[in-house]
Amino acid sequence: MPEELCDFIQRAEPRIDLIRDQTLLPPQRYPGDHLGEESFARTTAAQTRFEELVDSADALFGVPDQSAAQLKRTVEGNPRLRWVHTTPAGGGGQVKAAGLAEHHLKRVAFTASGGVHGQPLAEFAVFGVLAGAKELPRLLTDQRNHIWGQRRAVPQLSRQTVLVVGLGGIGRAVAGKLSALGVHVVGAHRRQVEAPGVERIIAMSELASAVRDVDAIVVCLPGTDATHRIISRTVLANVKPGVTIVNVGRGSTIDERALVEALADGRIGFAALDVFESEPLSPDSPLWDLPNVLISPHTAAINTGEERLIAELFAQNATRLLDGLPLLNLVNTVEFY
């Protein structure tokens, strides 16, 4: 974290002692880079010092080295630890991967950066829906081939119906932006929630029938056991021909093999994908070469204000922890989202 943001956190909550040693951390490649330079390695002495600092903490900003193994090591070895803030919005996956015992999950509170990434992901989702409606692949193909294409009618976004699957912070942001453009928005969620711009909410069990009537599907789901491949082969078999699919949630929520087949045979007209079942996407994945696919390498959430927003959230939660108030964005340690 840049020093100016470290200073901001300490000004916002002067009761905390924000300990850091930037020489023990990999240099950032870009603002908001949670991993840092891939070539970075600590000496044995530096690694020992790093772990000593981590193990002295009551709270951690970020999972050490973004490593589930390091998280497990320090939770088990540091009885003082009370709170870990995971910097990704999907930090529940890191906590799940650590395989912590139940008593550790009860002792340590885990929070995530949900909400920080809602607006940039919603913008990418709108971009994807627009690109599908306006037939971006055809326009690009004609441009590359120097073809003055035929005049043809294309859909008007305000006459389309879009299904937003998952109405958490990201899904609600997507729904709001699409509704502002005149889109008819239907939501799918596991319970009824307040979601401005959504005309009606269906149960997740109704997906296979609901997709018959929508022009685009935007997936905004976390990666949990309950959401694994919820956009299934059966759901994709029932889509309205030519539908657009956008995924700004987690790649595990879509049956990727069935998605490839549906893109190849034209059932799906266009897909804008920021996430994939396995990342980085394998060089031999058919998705790279399908002309009706736009690939974003899990970068749609990155934005210039990300670090500041995460720092502000962390400072808020530090105050809440010290004052005995409920923390914001608590990770559900049953379903890990």
Stated as kind and residue range, the H or E segment containing 264 is helix 256-264
First to last CA, the chain: 24
- How many residues would you count in the chain? 337
CA 337 to CA 327: how far, in whole Å?
Answer: 15
- Asked if 176 and 154 count as a contact pair (C-beta separation under 8 A), the reply is no
Query: Structure tokens of 96?
Result: 């799940």
Cite the beta strand spans of the chain per DSSP E. 59-61, 83-85, 109-111, 161-165, 184-188, 198-202, 216-219, 243-247, 268-273, 293-295
Q: Whose CA is closest to 184, among 206, 207, 155, 205?
A: 155
Catalytic positions = 250, 279, 298
DSSP 8-state class, residue 252: G
Strand, helix or coil at 42? coil
DSSP 8-state class, residue 64: G
Q: Lay out the sheet containing 293-295: strands in order across.
A: 198-202, 184-188, 161-165, 216-219, 243-247, 268-273, 293-295
